[in-house]
Amino acid sequence: MLQFREIAQKQPDSFLQEVEELAASCGVAMVFTPSLPHTKISGAARWIHQTPLIQLSDLYKTNDQFWFSFFHEACHILKHSKKAVFLENVDGASQDMDKEREANEYAANLLIPKDAYHTLTNNYTHFDEQIIRHFARDVGIHPGIVVGRLQHDGLLKPAFQNQLKVRVRFG
């Protein structure tokens, strides 16, 4: 997982190809799908025969969402039943909320270590670009991912610091 995290930190233009190649070297198939209109599907994880498959959409179109979804789906592949299909954000889909919580925590903590994040959020109430960039450098992750986490947790308004995120688009 650390090699994927390094790609997330650098966020190179070729990141999709790098993710696909690294996943293939681990025996995992990757599928990148442009988001479909009127759907809210951000990712899926399942096994096809003996091959794990992670499928991601560009629904949210930013690197923070992409990487969270990637590591969330990777958790399902690594820790959960080969017989289960995990499909995110689909109304009516059967979901094991304990496994979803576990995958959420796995992704969040792999991207930003829990203790470091608590230190950041306990020491600051205002998150300007300099603080975010410094923290991201210290924990070795892209600043856009820090912005996304702070926004998700309600510590940063959704419109603030989005210039630090990188746009993601497939196809």
The mean per-residue pLDDT over the stretch 119-133 comes to 97
Any idea what DSSP says for residue 36? P
pLDDT for 95:
65
Q: How far apart are CA 55 and CA 46, in angstroms?
A: 9
Q: Reply yes or no on whether the pLDDT at 140 is more than 90.
A: yes
Query: Is the pTM for the entire model greater than 0.75?
Result: yes
Residue 111 — very low, low, confident or very high, per pLDDT cuts 50/70/90?
very high
Nearest in space to 148 (alpha carbons), one of 62, 71, 44, 69 = 62
The mean per-residue pLDDT over the stretch 1-5 comes to 94
The two three-digit tokens of residue 128, written as one number: 């300007």
Q: Reply yes or no on whether the pLDDT at 94 is more than 70.
A: no
At residue 128, φ and ψ (nearest 5 deg) are: -85, 175
The mean per-residue pLDDT over the stretch 47-73 comes to 94
Task: Indicate the average pLDDT of the chain.
Answer: 92
pLDDT for 39:
81
Q: Reply yes or no on whether the pLDDT at 45 is more than 70.
A: yes
Query: What is the identity of the amino acid at 1?
Result: M
C-beta separation of 47 from 73 below 8 A: no
First-to-last alpha carbon distance for the chain, in angstroms, is 25
3-state secondary structure of 147: helix
The mean per-residue pLDDT over the stretch 6-20 comes to 96
pLDDT for 87:
60
Higher pLDDT, 120 or 90: 120
Higher pLDDT, 38 or 123: 123
Q: Reply yes or no on whether the pLDDT at 82 is more than 90.
A: no
pLDDT for 86:
66
Q: Reply yes or no on whether the pLDDT at 20 is more than 90.
A: yes
Q: Reply yes or no on whether the pLDDT at 64 is more than 90.
A: yes
